[in-house]
Each structure stands twice: as structure tokens, then as C-alpha cells.
Amino acid sequence: MNNLTLLQYFEWYLPPNSLLWTRAANEAKYLKQLGIDAVWLPPAFKGESLDNVGYGVYDLYDLGEFDQKGSIPTKYGTRREYQHAIKTLQKQGIKVFADIVLNSRIGGDETEIVQAIKQDWNNRLQQVGDKVEIEAWTKYKFPGRKGKYSDFTWNSAYFNGIDWDERTQQSGLYLFDGKAWDSKVSKENANYDYLMGADVDLHNPKVREEMLRWGEWYLATTGVDGFRLDATKHISSDFYSWWLTSLRQKSGKDLPTVGEYWSNDMSELGKYLQKTGNQMWLFDVPLHLNFFKASRSGDQFPMNKILDNSLLQSFPDRAVTFVDNHDTQPSQGLDSWVDGWFKTIAYSIILLRGEGTPCVFWGDLYGIPHDEIGAVPSLKLLLKIRELYAKGPLHDYFDHEHLVGFTREGGEGNTKSGLATVISNSKGGTKRMYIGKDFAGSIFVDIIHGNRPTVMIDTDGFGDFSVPNGSVSVYVSETAAKELFFSGLSSI
Ligand code: CA
């Protein structure tokens, strides 16, 4: 997974026109040209409704094949279109990561009467009142699929709890009688097993057996290369260790996997990595939150601390770095959108340092029409620079509150590679940085801003690299810059 460049191929407000898989296939070649070598596709399962983004899962075996929940295709297309997109991407040498959502189900076919005990939302190990009888949407029979691929149907025995009583039309956190919340989950709200819908009991042996059988079916049906695991803090830490190990053994594939564990606490993330036996990478949530804070603090954020307490700093080999995603975009659950002026700065940090695995967000590459947000300036250029010139040893200069930078010495088979990045979140300035003695006498130019003074590397291998106010400058050698422009690569 290291050295991959991932693209999150969706944002929250894509139209529910079932055309995403087709677009992915059509764009495969273009994505490769951009320097993308792995895409994370959104959940491909039939959701509770056509416009569901994919996290409200109804039927894991319906990838847009059966007339269920009002349509045959999902929000993104049909099963055949999905399979075609995966094959087409793979033909271009692009790996495909599937989004796996096993924590809960939504849109049950029928209700049943269940004994339950209400729990306090803020202290979920605290019972509120006596046992009550509720009417819960826990029967999943998949009438449109009629047992194809699996005859497993669901009932309350396979769930831990739910948040709605149909009979009294009351919401509440209902733990089913005889069940306990999974213990190996996040300790937020005392126990964060429950997230939404009907919470799946992933400790139930029959459920486990079915989830493994489904995993094998899904791999065989789609041929995906790896996984993005949704909501892992709400799922017992031993579940995915077991599931991934079993699937890797059965399939003989590596199945690179990145988990979404939403926490700003490095020690909690470190513990989760340990508990899951380092079988997955994790999204670098703390780094994203550093970017978010820095972008909202103007020149008040100490840029020398921008990498502090991040996965990138503590476990670079396990970090999937990102600037934003479908949950952090405006009006979504986490709403920690990185302000526009800081985006190019943040992308230069995740794309050019050669540490961690960067994941570019659809909304930053293409924009988000719903919120009239445009694409991030220079993002495509940074992707190209990452692919061609971000090579060789890294030298950090995170030594000033408002003016920081880093260089790459180049090499790794490309004589034109090597770069210098200098960042300011306040007044611009000049930073003296070492880029390598081999470059003595070479001229470097800022490829982000066309109008900066060029830099000549001195005999000791240092250059004086400047940056304008509140911005980032990326310098590559004059030969590299010419190559970029004359090849048309800079205008993809
Ligand atoms: Ca759960």
C-alpha cells in the first residue's frame, strides 16, 4: 500500500442517477494519467432508498441486481456496471478498494415484537427504566432476491439493538433483552457499539459465519483488490482481525485494507492498530483535524506543529492521510471542512513528503456543486509532481511558527526528480533549505506560482526558496518544469 496514491471516488451529494460506475469506467485511463493508482469506490450494496449514499445498507448481496427498495440499480448503478468499472480500472493498473459496511442494517422488511431495555444515549451502559416490549424493524427477508446467493434472513436474534419503536413511534436506544453491547469498541458514551439502524450482533456465531461467506462471495463476484472498512470504532476490534485473516487465507490475496476509526486520540488509534494485529492501515484523522484547525486559525496556528500527534508522525507506514472526505464536507456529520486557502498547502504536505499513503477526495478534485465549491487549485499538478519528482531522501524544516518547508533530494531512477516545498500561513518569506549537492549550479522554479524568482542551488546544495503570503510554493528543477509544461502534463 505504501507509495500508492488513492482517490476517494465520490462525495456526499452526487446525484442519484446510477451513473457513477459508468463514469469510473470511462475515466479509468484519465485517472491513471493523473497519477492515481488506487480508487476507493463507495458502498455498492442496495441501500434503504435509491438516494442513499451507501452507508444505510439494506442487502449486502444486492449490488444493483434485484428490484428492491424501489429500484434495480443502486445510487451508483447496476451490478454489471460495477463489475465492468472494477475490471476497467484494474486494466489501467488501478487497484480498487471496496467500502465495507457491516455495522448496521436499515430498511427492514417487517417488524417483530422484541423485549428491550432502554439505555441512556450519553452513558450507554446505563439502563433507563424497566424492560419494555417494542415493535422493531428487524426482519430482513429480501423478497426481491428470493434467496439467490444466500438464503440467510435476519431477525432480532442477530441484532443487538435499535433506535425506534414502531408501536409507540418513539425513538430511543433500545438494547434487546438478553443481549449486551460489544465490549471491544470505542469507550465514547461509555460504549459506542451502537451507531445507527439495527446494530448487527457481530459476536453471534451464525452472523459471523454468514459475514465470512458473504465476504468470499463478494470477492469472487467483484474481484476488488482491497477494502475500506466503515465505522470500525463501533465494531468489536477482534471482528475484523478475524474476518480479514480468514478472507486472506481463503482467497490467497493480500487484501490491503484501510480502516475508518474516527478519533483524534493518537493513543486510541495506536491501541486499535495493536489490537487488530497491524492488519490494516488507518485514516489519519488527527492530521485532518490539524489541517482543519490550521485552516480556521489564519496566521494563529503554529505551522511547525502541523504534523504533531498525527499517525503520519507516529506510524507513517500505517497512515492513510487525507485532507477531507464525504463526512467532513460541509453540512455532513463531522463538518470539519478544511478552508479553501489552506487546501493546496495541505495537499502539498500529504502528496510530496513520501510518507503515508495519501487519499485525494473527489470533492477536491472535481468540486462540490451542491455547495458551490470548486476544485482545489493546482491539485492535479501536485499529483503529477508526486508521481514524477517527489523522490529521494526527505529533509524537514518545520522550525518556524509561520514559515516551514521540506525538500526531497531526488533520485530513484529519475534524474529530473527532487523538489523543495515552502509554506507560509502568514507573511511570505524565504527559507534556506538543503536539496542536495548534486544540484549545485542548477536552477529551480516555483511551479505553483509562475512569477516567483528562480533559485540557484549553491555549491553546498542549499537554495533560498521563497513563498508568497499564506500560500505554498513548490520548486522543481528548470528541466523538470520544462518537461511538465512541454509534455502537456501540467494541463491534464
Ligand atoms: Ca456495532
CA of 100 to the centre of ligand 1 (A): 14
pLDDT value for 488:
66
SS3 174: strand
pLDDT at 12 over 70: yes
Mean pLDDT of the chain: 96
CA of 21 to the centre of ligand 1 (A): 29
pLDDT value for 487:
72
Report the alpha-carbon distance of residue 27 to residue 492 in Å, rounded. 13
Nine cell digits for residue 262: 474516527
CA of 197 to the centre of ligand 1 (A): 10
pLDDT value for 412:
75
What DSSP line would sit under 200-259, residue for residue?
E-TTSHHHHHHHHHHHHHHHHHH---EEEE--GGGS-HHHHHHHHHHHHHHH-----EEE
Distances, alpha carbon 185 to alpha carbons 97, 103, 424, in Å? 24, 12, 40
Burial grade of 238 (CB within 10 A; 0-12, 13-18, 19 or more): middle
pLDDT at 9 over 80: yes
Indicate if 371 belongs to the active site. no
Indicate if 308 belongs to the active site. no
CB 87 within 8 A of CB 77: no
**345-375 pLDDT, tens per residue?**
999 999 999 999 999 999 999 999 999 999 9
CB 34 within 8 A of CB 89: no
pLDDT value for 1:
57
**299-332 pLDDT, tens per residue?**
999 999 999 999 999 999 999 999 999 999 998 8
Closest alpha carbon to 456 in 448, 471, 466:
466
The whole-number average pLDDT for the span 87-97 is: 98
Angle between helices 79-91 and 205-222 (to 10 degrees): 60
pLDDT at 392 over 80: yes
The whole-number average pLDDT for the span 410-426 is: 92
CA of 343 to the centre of ligand 1 (A): 34
DSSP count for the chain of H helices, then E strands: 11, 24
CA of 103 to the centre of ligand 1 (A): 5
CA of 231 to the centre of ligand 1 (A): 8
Cell 424492560, located at residue: 131
CA of 384 to the centre of ligand 1 (A): 40
The whole-number average pLDDT for the span 99-116 is: 98
The percent of residues in the chain predicted with pLDDT above 90, rounded, is 94
Nine cell digits for residue 2: 505504501
What DSSP line would sit under 295-316, residue for residue?
HHSGGGS-GGGTTTT-HHHH-G
pLDDT band at 112 (very low <50, low <70, confident <90, very high): very high
Higher pLDDT, 450 or 478: 478
pLDDT at 462 over 90: yes
CA of 161 to the centre of ligand 1 (A): 9
pLDDT value for 415:
83
State the virtual CA torsion across 193, 362, 54, 15 in degrees, nearest 10.
140
DSSP 8-state code for residue 236: -
Report the alpha-carbon distance of residue 217 to residue 227 in Å, rounded. 14
Closest alpha carbon to 334 in 267, 273, 260:
260
What DSSP line would sit under 332-358, residue for residue?
SSS--PPPHHHHHHHHHHHHHS--SEE
Task: Report the Cα–Cα distance between both ends of the chain, in Å, rounded.
Answer: 25
pLDDT value for 492:
58
pLDDT value for 278:
87
pTM of the model: 0.97
CA of 232 to the centre of ligand 1 (A): 8
- β-sheet bridge partners, residue 259: 229, 282
pLDDT at 450 over 90: no
pLDDT value for 349:
98
Q: From the candidates 27, 201, 225, 230, which is the catalytic residue?
A: 230
> What angle (nearest 5°) sits at the alpha carbon of residue 418, between those of residues 415 and 420?
160
pLDDT value for 92:
98
Closest alpha carbon to 474 in 434, 427, 420:
420
**223-242 pLDDT, tens per residue?**
999 999 999 999 999 999 99
The whole-number average pLDDT for the span 262-275 is: 96
CB 102 within 8 A of CB 211: yes
Report the alpha-carbon distance of residue 93 to residue 108 in Å, rounded. 39
Report the alpha-carbon distance of residue 43 to residue 53 in Å, rounded. 8
* Residue 199 backbone phi and psi in degrees, to 5: -80, 120
The whole-number average pLDDT for the span 458-469 is: 97
The whole-number average pLDDT for the span 247-254 is: 97
CA of 104 to the centre of ligand 1 (A): 7
Angle between helices 237-251 and 266-275 (to 10 degrees): 40
Nine cell digits for residue 51: 438516494
Q: How far out from the chain centre does Cα 221 lie?
A: 23
Report the alpha-carbon distance of residue 194 to residue 103 in Å, rounded. 8
pLDDT value for 365:
98
Q: From the candidates 260, 268, 355, 464, which is the catalytic residue?
A: 260
Closest alpha carbon to 39 in 23, 51, 54:
23
